[in-house]
């Protein structure tokens, strides 16, 4: 398989045979973390291209000269489904190509000389699962240590309950983030090595963090408050009294204090963000540096693979240490098998052959894993469990400039453009380490090689749209149907990003659309978008919500307005799955505010 992948890499990325073999070796190593269907898909892609080479030339792909290999790729791309197949293979190949090179290491030299030293690791009471007893007791068990679980655990521990937090992943340190290549960190820090997808037309990449701190380890650090129009909708449509702005506001205030949220200083913003600000100013659009939980940010652009300076305040640096200071314990490597109930009440949790007896259980495993946990625990009977998933789908474009941009130097997600936010489109200047961005460069062979060689002149911008809750989580798959109105929003977003980049001085825009990969004017971009099939869109999503929603109506909402799972006593839910719909902004602050309220309500009930 490595020979086939090596030939595929050389053909698709326009490299020589030796470099192709190196990339194949790296991909084989990294792909051990991918789910089996993805690994099989890579093998099928290599085999399919090899078969095409034999049919067209009579030789295997590995035996062809570079020009003929590229001709085979071009011929395959012209066939129905061929382009989609090659595009799907690009991202793992680009990840492997970056692995092991200097560009994939944490660029500590991007930090200003005057930056303060990395923040120390906080005190956390962590116990590896193998060191945890087979039988134990606690007042409360929290499943998941991310944004929701950490906040709920803190409130329960501060109320005097004995709390155990169960985390499937392990604890990571900033020293690891400084010393290990970005590609290696990527496959370790994400479930399925970052290769989680929602099946649909088009499919949607859904990377989910896994480790102590959950996705807050690997998010961008962007901290929007929940918009008041969203809160009013949650209150008026879903009967969520908690969402009354007057009641929710103090919760948001507490979360912001916990995370130390502040506007991003511009001294480390980076050229990527500066160009977006310039484009917005030229258009008269509303834009500003993000509010972030990163008071010590030095612009190393590593947020998505762990901050090498502990500058981004994920919950592993605040809410979890605060919970541990109040007596909580975090058990790592603890994948939960089921919540145990008896006679309609929670009695404990089973994981890795162990049982913790507890009368109170908080499910906080995230919008994809919490419905699965509830279902395998026999608690998924409500028709709303696993349904109503919104994902906040995103598209990315790149603008080519005449001077170097070096987008990976600076803040990863630096500037927000809210001009179209009322229309459900939020634009954000977002870059990333080489090989780890969601934008897929166009072309194959020498064309793609040339694009990559001039990547330092690209500015990258993304946009998320407020989507309909049209996804579903089942035991083995996530399915998502992009609504027609959401496809229209995505087209609006693509054109808006193009306007922004051209206004900033871009010479051309890389559209992300296979049939028209380049545009040299807004008019060309509009034409490309107007003729694009929705299936051509490269979609990623980072904010799944709503798969176990809160609400007043017991027929529609499996979780009550305080966070209790309906139909059983002692089981609470405190994560993104409870949000009644897409929050229209990066959701970390919203999730933590809801979990803060749920944790307090659960603690109060336990104390009665």
The catalytic residues are 543
Q: Bridge partners of 518?
A: 510
CA within 13 Å, CB half, 599: 30
Going by the DSSP 8-state scheme, the letter that residue 382 receives in this structure is: S
Contact 61, 70 (CB under 8 A): no
Tally of CB atoms within 10 A around 116 = 11
Nearest in space to 487 (alpha carbons), one of 537, 437, 446? 537
Other CB atoms within 10 A of residue 453 CB: 10
Name the phi and psi angles at 429, rounded to 5: -70, 115
Query: In 54-169, where do the E strands start and end?
Result: 126-128, 135-137, 140-143, 163-167
> In 3D, which of 439, 349, 446 has the Cα closest to residue 398?
439
CB 441 within 8 A of CB 451: yes
Please give the C-alpha separations between residue 275 and each of 407, 460, 596, in angstroms, as whole numbers: 10, 10, 37
Question: What is the C-alpha radius of gyration for the chain, rounded to an integer number of angstroms?
Answer: 24
Please answer whether residues 144 and 332 qualify as being in contact, where contact means their C-beta atoms are separated by less than 8 angstroms: no
Q: Concatenated DSSP letters for 433-497?
A: STT--S-----STHHHHHHHHTGGGEEEEEEEE---S-EEE-SS-EEE---HHHHHHHHHHHHHH
First to last CA, the chain: 62
Q: What is the DSSP letter of 594?
A: H
Residues 573 and 346: their CA atoms lie apart, in Å, by: 13
Contact 413, 290 (CB under 8 A): yes
Sign, CA torsion 590/595/601/604: negative
What is the total residue count of the chain?
Answer: 608
SS3 98: helix
Specify the pairing of strand 140-143 against strand 518-519: unpaired
Token code pair at residue 49: 């291209």
Instruction: Write the DSSP string, 337-380.
Output: EEEEEETTEEEEEEETTEEEE-SEEEE-S-TTHHHHHHHHTT--
d(CA 455, CA 443): 13
Q: Whole-angstrom Cα distance, residue 93 to residue 86?
A: 10
DSSP-derived letter for residue 33 is G
Q: Which residue has the tokens 């690791």?
A: 121
Q: How far is CA 523 from the centre of its chain?
A: 32
Q: Is the dihedral of CA 130, 132, 136, 139 positive or negative?
A: negative
Residue 457: which of 514, 497, 423, 507 has the closest Cα?
A: 507
**E strand intervals along 373-451:** 387-389, 394-400, 413-417, 425-430
Phi, psi for residue 47 in degrees, rounded to 5: -65, -40
Residue with tokens 């998010």: 219
């Amino acid at each position: 398989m490595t020979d086939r992948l090596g030939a595929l890499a050389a053909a698709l990325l326009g490299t020589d045979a030796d470099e192709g073999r190196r990339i194949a070796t790296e991909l084989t190593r990294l792909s051990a973390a991918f789910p089996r269907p993805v690994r099989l898909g890579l093998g099928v892609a290599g085999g399919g291209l090899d078969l095409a080479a034999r049919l067209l030339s009579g030789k295997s792909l590995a035996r062809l000269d570079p020009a003929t290999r590229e001709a085979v790729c071009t011929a395959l791309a012209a066939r129905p489904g061929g382009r989609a197949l090659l595009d799907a293979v690009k991202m793992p190949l680009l990840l492997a190509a970056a692995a092991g090179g200097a560009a994939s290491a944490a660029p500590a030299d991007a930090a200003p000389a005057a930056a303060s030293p990395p923040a120390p690791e906080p005190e956390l009471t962590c116990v590896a699962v193998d060191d945890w007893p087979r039988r134990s007791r606690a007042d409360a068990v929290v499943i998941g240590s991310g944004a929701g679980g950490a906040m709920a655990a803190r409130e329960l521990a501060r109320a005097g309950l004995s709390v155990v937090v169960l985390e499937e992943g392990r604890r990571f340190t900033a020293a690891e983030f400084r010393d290990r290549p970005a590609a290696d960190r990527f496959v370790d820090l994400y479930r399925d090595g970052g290769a989680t997808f929602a099946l649909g037309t088009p499919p949607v990449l859904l990377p989910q963090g896994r480790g102590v701190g959950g996705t807050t380890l690997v998010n961008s650090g962007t901290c929007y408050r929940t918009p008041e129009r969203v809160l009013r909708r949650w209150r008026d449509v879903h009967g969520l009294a908690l969402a009354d702005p007057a009641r929710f506001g103090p919760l948001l205030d507490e979360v912001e204090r916990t995370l130390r949220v502040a506007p991003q200083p511009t001294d480390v913003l980076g050229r990527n963000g500066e160009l977006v600000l310039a484009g917005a100013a030229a258009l008269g659009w509303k834009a500003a540096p993000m509010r972030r939980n990163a008071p010590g940010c030095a612009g190393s652009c590593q947020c998505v693979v762990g901050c090498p300076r502990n500058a981004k305040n994920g919950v592993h640096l605040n809410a979890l240490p605060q919970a541990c200071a109040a007596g909580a314990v975090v058990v790592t490597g603890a994948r939960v098998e089921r919540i145990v109930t008896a006679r309609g009440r929670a009695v404990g949790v089973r994981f890795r052959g162990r049982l913790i007896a507890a009368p109170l259980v908080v499910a906080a495993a995230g919008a994809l894993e919490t419905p699965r946990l509830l279902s395998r625990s026999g608690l998924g009977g409500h028709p709303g469990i696993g349904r109503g998933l919104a994902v906040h789908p995103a598209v990315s474009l790149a603008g080519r400039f005449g001077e170097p941009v070096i987008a990976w130097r600076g803040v990863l997600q630096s500037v927000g453009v809210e001009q179209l936010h009322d229309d459900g489109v939020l634009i954000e200047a977002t870059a990333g380490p080489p090989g780890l961005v969601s934008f897929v460069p166009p072309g194959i062979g020498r064309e793609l090689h040339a694009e990559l060689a001039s990547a330092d002149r690209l500015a990258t911008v993304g946009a998320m749209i407020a989507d309909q809750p049209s996804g579903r989580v089942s035991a083995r798959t996530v399915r998502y149907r992009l609504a027609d109105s959401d496809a229209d929003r995505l087209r609006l977003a693509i054109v808006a990003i193009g306007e922004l980049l051209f206004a900033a001085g871009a010479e051309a825009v890389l559209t992300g659309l296979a049939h028209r990969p380049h545009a040299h004017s807004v008019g060309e971009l509009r034409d490309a978008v107007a003729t694009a099939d929705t299936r051509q869109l490269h979609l990623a999503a980072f904010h799944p919500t709503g798969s176990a929603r809160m609400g007043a109506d017991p027929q529609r909402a499996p979780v009550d307005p305080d966070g209790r799972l309906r139909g059983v006593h002692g089981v609470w839910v405190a994560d993104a799955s409870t949000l009644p719909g897409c929050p229209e902004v990066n959701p970390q602050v919203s999730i933590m505010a809801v979990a803060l309220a749920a944790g307090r309500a659960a603690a109060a009930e336990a104390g009665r």
